[in-house]
Structure 1
């Protein structure tokens, strides 16, 4: 998730090499992994240098892009893992295999952007006002935390990534006709088509 306005000329592809897999990864909406339901971080990976390196890469990508959160699928790794930080409201936290409990109706409208949908923002994204998250840290220790307001919005945004959802799925601004929005919707449709084709071939 991003809290800053991204320039409209920001390229769709932001390529970099993964220090974990050695293969190119991107922060672009065109990657079908963004539409997949991520798998739990394997037990044997918790507490390892590999997990540590992946989290370091995620922090670098997030900070480089000016975000406040990023999920493993956004760097090409389909694991249930995300990181988030926001000054004074959400300390820098690594959420491994998180489970989220929602409170209240999804009735709070707010503005969101996403590192995987560069340039497009919407102020009409509905979220729950409060969440409780049960998760593990990189060493495997269990934690429980409750968040409200903007912190809760950030957590919900990143958790959605683990279930193949993007904020634009919740964007309640159908009247907006903007080139960046059209591009994002087209890319999402293409991802869904590729995943459907793969499922049919299996």
Structure 2
């Protein structure tokens, strides 16, 4: 449970989202049982980050970063229908190990904001391990660094649909761009907006009893 003003102790946050091949990250125990020479397939095909910085009068968006990623693996057709990213677009994209330095520099020591954070954590853990910078079963980032907009939304609006689109609709955030295709940077941007609005609802004593259709967010 988050208390009102739970963001007050932070000066910088990083909202994150990843688009994938549509496959789930395999269990580390399964991976360890694979024969010598087995190459784990890539999962992440796009990453998006949005920086949030505290200023005197509140939070402001700062830098953004987005990169396509070549997974060297097939993409599930169902996933393509969601994010619209086709294999041809990834042919010349960097592999995950190549974007790791920039990813780590962008995140730095900031908390990571994600919607349904366990999914994003698992994808980062898997790709970091596949790049051999951590071991299988280890964490790319400590779990305490993650802030989950889905859990915060469920705290304020118990029983409501918890998808990113449903949350944005409830909070009167324009998510119409997601009607055609999802995208890592777009979703990270929507997650950042939602976090700040949910934080403000908590500060205003909101419990989710009313739908904040007329509330606005200034970035």
- Relative to the length of structure 2, the TM-score reads 0.26
Query: Could you say which structure has the larger radius of gyration?
Result: 2
**Greater strand share, structure number:** 1
Name the structure with the higher helix share: 2
